[in-house]
Chains A and B, each alone.
Chain A
Amino acid sequence: MSRNGPLSLLFHAVFVVFMLAPIAVVCLVAFTPEGYLSLPVNGFSLRWFRALASYPEFIDAFWVSLWVGAASSFIALGFAIPAALAVARHQFPGREAISALFLSPLMIPHVVLGVAFLRFFTQIGISGTFPALLVAHVILVFPFALRLTLAAAVGMDRSVEMAAVSLGANGWTLFRRITLPLILPGVVSGWALAFIQSFDEVTMTVFLAAPGVETLPVRMFLYVQDNIDPLVTSVSACVIAITMIALVLLDRFYGLDRVLAGHSDRSS
């Protein structure tokens, strides 16, 4: 075990403070009694949390975000798992091209994606609907789901599957009983990363949102365009609180390191 010197400790402390400061500031400002964004806060009030109740569109947008994030991540995985297994273990013509195609949403600026999707969805007449938003998000998060699933599939010991085959497992049984459990850490991490990506996304989604089909970040973005008051900070504080609770629960029951790093060192 090497120990950190005072300089490096200082560096790490400054780094952590720098990373956490915006979150802390947002949470502090959320408790302001004033009608404007101000720091330092003089006084403490739940005024802006109470105000949330009179803006049901934020609550609705939160649910939309949750559903779009969860559903798009699941659907993306439904494609990513077979794609990852195929790319990881077979040599076939066009393999490189297919991998590149699968990862291409990463390389296209979200603005461009947003405009393209808007044009396309309008053309086929589903613009502004939930399914349209969902399809766009599936494509957006697919590379994230694929990357981690692929890493797990590549790292898998093929002889484990061969052993299962020699013992009589085949097809779906092989996948369900052996392959999926083996790549599960990568699949779960892929889902989590895809979900975060979807939940965070503004630039593309802002083109596709319509009243009733707005994600939370888009709702907040639209709100701050017209109003400068601490309501968005209280919304942010709520999201931060929910995220922290979710992370604590996840760590307790599954292990955060497994989700984020795709490791499976802990005994299950």
Chain B
Amino acid sequence: MAFLELDHVSKRFGGHVAVEGFCLSVAKGEFISFLGPSGCGKTTTLQMIAGFLDPSGGAIRLDGRDLARVRPARRGLGIVFQSYALFPHLTAAENIAFGLEMRGVPRAEREARVRDALAMVGLAGYGERHPRRMSGGQQQRVALARALVIRPDVLLLDEPLSNLDAKLREDMQIELRQIQRNLGTTTVLVTHDQTEAMALSDRIVVMSKGRIEQIGTPHETYERPASAFVSHFLGKTNEFPAEVRPNGSGRVLVAGSCRWPAPAGPSGAVTITVRPEKVAFADGTADGLAARIANRIFQGNHWLFQCETECGAALVVRQNNGERQPAEGEAVRLVWRAEDMGLRRGGEA
């Protein structure tokens, strides 16, 4: 049963189409991410759920109730903005209490809930501070507590972590996930950061140019990208031009000097896609794509190889597991398992 439902939602600004035919059902307690580059319509969609923008078409339903006629102040959604949007003239505790005050929660209960909310985000004792005297991470926590203390039906997060430095962002990701799991709040996260989306979400909605490219679990979208856009946006992908030819009674997939039994699907010019970490090195006698190591970059827990193959440039990522790695300039063969390889119609990479 869908808790939050977006039914063919679209938004146009004048002649510009920002969101088109957006359909999504979010289950209660689910953590959904809208992932895409800037301008893909993800924030617009979030703002339509929040009620700051009216959809040009389609319907948004929350728990079966059409939100079109519900004013944003009455939707009961918690929102965390990229800029945190804390009230600068109020203390942390007053910020968090604001939503409760608007709901007419009596003072005693208000104070108890604010205390609990501060404790939940690890800021017990910081209630009397003003936002400007808190660090970015602390402000972020206050914003989260302020959105959650009203026990919203849906928590909307608009790029909430993008202003934090890398280390803090990772910590906050874990914490955010923990809090969301504990409370079971249905959450929609807007982000352009694929690792963040993958780390946090139950499902990811990958968007491009106002349209949904794919909806799926992080693992699905990464391993089985529905389009070239998705495979490029989620991590790195090697692409090799190839061809599927008839061969006697069957068909064969040919790329450079390599051939595989062709899987069912397209014929003619195709593109092979394979993730860099799925590629292994074999010595020159093996049956694989002939390549030469152009650059070898050490990145701590793994090595990054830029290779020149007979079918164009390729990236290879190998674990730094103590094994000997090929040197720059060395001739190698690139091999991978047939099931790690994707096939797309069309020869252009």
Contact = CB atoms under 8 A, between A and B. Distances in A.
Interface of A: 157, 159-160, 162-170, 173, 177-178, 181-182, 184, 264, 267-268
Contacts of A181: 87, 89
B88 A159 contact: no
Interface string B61-99: 000000000011111111101110111110000000011
Given A267-B130, A267-B133, A165 B88 contact: no
A170 B88 contact: no
A166 B73 contact: yes
A159 B83 contact: yes
The 5 closest A-B pairs by CB, nearest first: A168-B102, A167-B99, A159-B85, A163-B85, A159-B81
Contacts of A184: 89
Interface residues of B, number: 30
Interface string B95-133: 000110011000000000000000000000000001011
Contact of A162 (B52, B98, B102): B52
Contacts of A167: 73, 98-99, 102, 146, 150
A159 B103 CA distance: 20
Given A167-B98, A169-B102, A178 B73 contact: no
Interface centre among A165, A167, A169 (most CB of B within 10 A): A167
A146 B100 CA distance: 34
A135 B130 CA distance: 41
6 contacts: A159-B85, A160-B86, A162-B79, A165-B72, A177-B98, A181-B89
B156 to A, nearest CB: 8
A162 B89 contact: no
Contact of A264 (B50, B77, B88, B102): B88
Nearest to B156: A166
Nearest to A177: B98
B87 A164 contact: yes
Contacts of B132: 267
A52 B225 CA distance: 89
Given A162-B50, A267-B130, A267-B133, A168 B103 contact: yes
A182 B88 contact: yes
Contacts of A268: 89, 130
A170 B103 CA distance: 12
A181 B50 CA distance: 24
B130 A166 contact: no
Given A163-B85, A166-B79, 4 more contacts: A162-B50, A166-B147, A167-B99, A267-B130
A168 B73 contact: yes
Interface centre among A159, A168, A178, A181 (most CB of B within 10 A): A168
Nearest to A163: B85
A173 B79 CA distance: 19
Nearest to B76: A168
Contact of A170 (B71, B76, B143): B71
B99 A168 contact: yes
A173 B72 contact: no
B160 to A, nearest CB: 12
A181 B87 CA distance: 9
Contacts of A182: 87-89
Given A169-B73, A267-B132, A157 B83 contact: yes
Contacts of A166: 50, 72-73, 75, 77-79, 147
Contacts of A162: 50, 52, 72, 79, 81, 85
Nearest to A268: B89
Given A168-B102, A170-B73, A181-B89, A163 B81 contact: yes
Nearest to A170: B73
A165 B146 CA distance: 13
B101 to A, nearest CB: 9
Nearest to B149: A167
A267 to B, nearest CB: 6
A228 B165 CA distance: 70
B63 to A, nearest CB: 17
A184 B87 CA distance: 13
B133 A160 contact: no
Contacts of B99: 167-168
Contacts of B78: 166
A184 to B, nearest CB: 8
A164 B98 contact: yes
Contacts of A178: 87
Nearest to B74: A168
Contacts of A170: 71, 73
A165 B78 CA distance: 10
A158 to B, nearest CB: 9
A252 B137 CA distance: 33
Interface in B39-72: 50, 52, 71-72
B86 to A, nearest CB: 7
A268 B78 CA distance: 28
A168 B3 CA distance: 21
